[in-house]
Amino acid sequence: MLTKRVTCIRRMILSPHNLYTREMYNRFGFVANWPPAAPLQLGMIGVMEQNVFVPRSSLSETSVRIPFNVTEEGAKQDISYRSSSSIDVLFKARGTPVPPDSALVEAKAGVVIDFKGKSGVLFEARECVMPVIADQLSLGDTIIDRYRSGHWAKNWVVVTQIIKADSIAVLISGNNGGRLELTAESDLQLGSLPLANAALNLKCVRSFSMHTEILGHKGAAPLFRVSGIKPRWFRRPIFGIRLAQDADDRSPADTPRDELDFGPLDLKFDTEEAS
């Protein structure tokens, strides 16, 4: 009971971007891009600051110049997430009566999203693909060599995998819930992730206590994974996927366990290493 109460308290005081990145990580196992529509590409080099990737350079920059190849995994697919059952989504067809206490109009299709009483996240991404850097063992060997020669900082990470979407929608409510009412030029089809559909040209007619409203944004990369160096005493460093983010610019080895933003999760890496 005490653990549940502590979890609820922590949820209420999380900043919007920490709420979003934490919930997306727990659901998908990927780091969430923040802001959700910020430019992001494979090979970007940066640091993690409060769950936000801050770019510093790229593998293709003249000062770095580490070549890499890209492969694409899987077929296109839609993905979506709602943070809790307390989020109600009501669709209205054209020519049907307006819901009570709504700013929608009878002549237009519309949707009402109601975050009841607490903060929440609604996420939709259409036609997603998953490009990834190929041969990451070779990339890791090169980066380890750069690190040992003093040309790579131990807190730098590389974007090695991204989820690219044709279009996305991200809604984040305030701590006391929120409400968003939208109209559309054509009827909304259930199951088609309509909030992320840029062709519907959704227009906001009423918004209450909403922190983030991104609707039908084209060409975003909302989710990604990064890889980095893990130094080890008297042994060769290893390079692998970072499964949780540091709270600031300090290295993984220097960051106390209780300062990691994802609670009990610790920094983890793959177990493959060069001899």
Asked whether residue 266 is assigned to any structural domain, the reply reads: no
Alpha-carbon distances of 49 from 140, 167, 259, rounded to whole Å:
22, 26, 12
Residues 6+ apart with CB under 8 A from 260: 244, 245, 246, 247, 266, 267
pLDDT at 167 over 90: yes
Query: What is the model's pTM?
Result: 0.81
How many structural domains does the chain have? 1
Which residue, among 134, 141, 132, has the nearest Cα to 272 in the 3D structure? 141
Domain that holds residue 134: 12-259
Extract the tokens encoding 21: 């990145």
3-state helix, strand, coil in the chain (%, to 5): 20, 40, 40
Q: Are 228 and 47 in contact (CB under 8 A)?
A: no
Q: What is the pLDDT of residue 150?
A: 92
pLDDT in tens, 220-249: 999 999 999 988 888 989 898 876 543 333
Asked whether residue 274 is assigned to any structural domain, the reply reads: no
d(CA 146, CA 136): 15
Asked whether residue 63 is assigned to any structural domain, the reply reads: yes
Asked whether residue 6 is assigned to any structural domain, the reply reads: no
Q: Would you place residue 187 in the very low, low, confident or very high pLDDT band (cuts 50, 70, 90)? A: confident
Pairing of strands 157-163, 223-232: antiparallel
Q: What is the pLDDT of residue 260?
A: 28
pLDDT at 254 over 80: no
Q: What is the pLDDT of residue 13?
A: 58
Asked whether residue 268 is assigned to any structural domain, the reply reads: no
Asked whether residue 272 is assigned to any structural domain, the reply reads: no
The DSSP annotation for 182-207 comes to: EEESSPPPTTS-GGG-GGG--EEEEE
Asked whether residue 1 is assigned to any structural domain, the reply reads: no
Asked whether residue 190 is assigned to any structural domain, the reply reads: yes
The DSSP annotation for 93-118 comes to: -TTSPPPTT----TTSEEEEEEEESS
pLDDT in tens, 145-155: 999 999 999 99
